[in-house]
Amino acid sequence: MPGFELFGDEEKKEVQDVLDNGVLMRYGFDPMRNGHYKALELEKDLAKKMQTKHAQVVSSGTAALTVALACAEIGSGDEVIMPTFTFVASFEAILSVGAVPVLCDIDDTLTLDPKAVANLVTEKTKAIMPVHMCGSMADLKALKDICEKHNLILLEDACQAIGGTYDGKPLGSYGDLGCFSFDFVKTITCGEGGAIVTDSSLFADRSHKYHDHGHDHVGNDRGAETHPFLGYNYRLSELHAAVGIAQLRKLDDTIALQKKHYTILRDAISTIPEVTFRRVPDTGVESYAFLTIFLPTEDLARKTHKSLGAHGVDACFYWYDNNWHYYKKWEHLIEQKSLGKLSDEIQAGLKKNLKSFDSSDAWMSRTISCLIKLKWTEEEINQRASNMVTAIQSIL
């Protein structure tokens, strides 16, 4: 999965362009650039790749979610429905705009359960945020139907699933807004970075202003630009964008390699009848970034996870105990441990909405995900497949 496995001359060349002209900032200094506008180039390439009209690069995936929420006019007291299984950035972004994260159960896709979502919609709900965890996706058609029924924003967090598709569309392009992360361990990396994609000219116009202190970017004198509304600094540097340009060109080859390695491992494990696999929704094609399996019980999943490590199978995750990706360890959210006072709306909303999530627990307690790496040799991938089968069978 990590794009850094494929660093090479392409990234060096793009970065050297920036170092040669000496302009590391995205905006201004036009006479010095020698025609190089790396962030702008990455946006054009990304919009084309994601089949959307617009793309806006920003400083991180968290920034992408924050800017997307702001552009959809989501703010104080508004509610955003999000899954119990995701990275903490999902609720951090919601809180950062003053809105209330409403946690929702997942199903066997390990993403939002549409039936659970429908039961959580209130007059305060403004958006549904499915998170395409570990390379696969939510039942987006069902979620979109809910959004259309209640006039809600569908915001796709595709930070872990770039390269996957749903109903023939790239993940991130199906909803009103889609977000990506380009941090160091993502399929495409800028080192640090993120992006928003959308077909909405309104959201695109807002995002390019909001992410840069509210600058309107009109004219060629940055000091004379006006600020039609408040914004913040979520800019991506030219150095980071340069790496992203080269990485994005490799996406198709990266996905093909992930699929090859994923298929070898899945075919081997499929011989074990007690093991099942996460459900990929109809019309969905995952990015093959992770191979995710279900064991029959929590106890067997815990023992299998340990057995995989003992048999030399690294980069496997038992998310149920993970500090960052599952609600059970989000005590800082649950207990509202904030350096600054949270608004009354957030405090009340969190108290009302945080509860037990038995359905999520039933799935996550039995789940193990294994990262798909890109540089495995044929011998290494076949040995890994054999080791995984042996490790699992030794428990079952």
Secondary structure of residue 53 in the 3-state scheme = coil
Quote the CA–CA distance of 87 and 326 in Å, as a whole number. 7
Exactly one of 126, 186, 209, 328 is catalytic; name it.
186
- Neighbouring residues of 376: CB distance < 8 A, sequence distance ≥ 6: 261, 384
Q: Cα–Cα distance between 60 and 265 in angstroms, integer?
A: 31
Give, as one character, the DSSP assignment of residue 272.
Answer: -
The Cα 241–Cα 237 span in angstroms is 6
Task: Determine contact, residues 96/236, Cβ cutoff 8 Å.
Answer: no
- By residue count, the chain amounts to 396
Spatial distance between the Cα atoms of 287 and 256, rounded to a whole number of angstroms: 9
The 3 state secondary structure assigned to 81-110 is EEECECCCHHHHHHHHCCCEEEEECECCCC
Give the pair of three-digit tokens for residue 297.
């019980």
CB atoms within 10 A of CB 379: 8
> In the annotation, is 259 catalytic?
no
Considering only CA atoms, which of 236, 283, 288 is closest in space to residue 261?
A: 288
Query: Which is it for the CA torsion 149, 152, 157, 158, positive or negative?
Result: positive
CB 67 within 8 A of CB 196: yes
The pair of structure tokens assigned to 294 is: 């279900």
HSE at residue 27, side-chain half, CA atoms within 13 A, is 21
Active site residues: 186
